Amino acid sequence: MMMEDGDDRARISALAHAMWESEGRPDGRDLEHWLKAEKLVDAQREAALVVQVHGKDQAGS
């Protein structure tokens, strides 16, 4: 995982919470939800970096 800042931590927390709620608030799956949310936030950050470096036309290539 990349280094997370305060904004990323808040996004991860919100996503993990949403996953937990959408799955019926199961007990004992907090780490699983956190790790899934962490991967999603990392992927979003990496995609944003690609757009910044290569421009919008190259992001999908």
Question: Alpha helices, DSSP H only, in 1-61?
Answer: 6-22, 30-54, 56-59
Fill in the DSSP letter of residue 25: -
- Enter the pTM of the model: 0.73
pLDDT at residue number 30: 96
pLDDT at residue number 38: 97
For 2-57, the pLDDT digits (tens) are 556 789 999 999 999 999 999 999 999 999 999 999 999 999 989 988 887 877 65
Question: Cα-atom radius of gyration of the chain, to the nearest Å?
Answer: 14
Return the HEC string of 11-24: HHHHHHHHHHHHCC
pLDDT at residue number 54: 78
The pLDDT-based confidence of 1 (bands split at 50, 70, 90) is very low
